[in-house]
A = this chain, B = another copy of it.
Amino acid sequence: MGLRRKDLLGLQDLTREEIDLILDTAESMREIIDRPVKKVPTLRGKVIVNLFYEPSTRTRNSFELAAKYLSADVQSVAVAQSSVQKGETLLDTARNLEVMGADLVIMRHSEGGAPHFLARRLRAGVVNAGDGIHEHPTQGLLDLFTIRRRKGRLSGLKVAIVGDILHSRVARSNIWGLLKYGSEVWVAGPATLLPPGLEALGVHVTHDLDEALDGADVVNVLRIQLERQQKGLFPSVHEYARFWGITPQRLAACKEDVLVLHPGPMNRGVEITSEVADSHRAAILEQVTGGVAVRMAVLYLLLGGGGTGE
| A100 touching B264, Cβ below 8 Å | no
| B65 touching A73, Cβ below 8 Å | yes
Our pick among B38, B58, B81, B93 for the contact of A46 (Cβ within 8 Å) is: B38
Residues of chain B contacted by A95 (CB below 8 angstroms) = 285
Q: Which A75-107 residues sit within 8 Å CB-CB of chain B?
A: 75, 77-78, 81-83, 86-89, 92-93, 95-97, 99-101
Judged by a CB distance under 8 angstroms, whether A37 is at the interface is: yes
Q: Please state the number of chain copies in the assembly.
A: 3
Judged by a CB distance under 8 angstroms, whether A150 is at the interface is: no
Distance between A48 CB and nearest chain B CB, rounded to angstroms? 11
In the complex, A39→B46 CA distance in Å?
Answer: 8
Judged by a CB distance under 8 angstroms, whether A253 is at the interface is: no
User: Interface residues, chain A, CB within 8 Å of chain B?
Assistant: 33, 35-39, 44-47, 55-58, 61-62, 64-65, 68-69, 73, 75, 77-78, 81-83, 86-89, 92-93, 95-97, 99-101, 226, 264-268, 285-286, 288-289, 291-292, 308-310
| B226 touching A87, Cβ below 8 Å | yes
| Contact A57:B37 (CB < 8 A) given known A73-B65, A100-B288, A266-B88 | no
Residues of chain B contacted by A35 (CB below 8 angstroms) = 45
Residues of chain B contacted by A226 (CB below 8 angstroms) = 87
| B265 touching A100, Cβ below 8 Å | no
Residues of chain B contacted by A310 (CB below 8 angstroms) = 37
Our pick among B36, B99, B288 for the contact of A288 (Cβ within 8 Å) is: B99
Distance between A109 CB and nearest chain B CB, rounded to angstroms? 16
Residues of chain B contacted by A47 (CB below 8 angstroms) = 38, 65, 68
| A75 touching B82, Cβ below 8 Å | no
Residues of chain B contacted by A64 (CB below 8 angstroms) = 75
| B39 touching A87, Cβ below 8 Å | no
In the complex, A81→B265 CA distance in Å?
Answer: 13
In the complex, A95→B78 CA distance in Å?
Answer: 24
| B264 touching A83, Cβ below 8 Å | yes
In the complex, A35→B44 CA distance in Å?
Answer: 12
In the complex, A46→B35 CA distance in Å?
Answer: 10
| B57 touching A77, Cβ below 8 Å | yes
Q: List 26 A-B contacts (CB under 8 A).
A: A33-B101, A35-B45, A36-B45, A37-B46, A37-B308, A37-B309, A38-B47, A38-B101, A55-B81, A58-B83, A58-B96, A62-B100, A65-B73, A68-B73, A69-B101, A78-B81, A89-B268, A92-B264, A92-B265, A92-B266, A96-B265, A99-B286, A100-B289, A100-B291, A100-B292, A101-B292
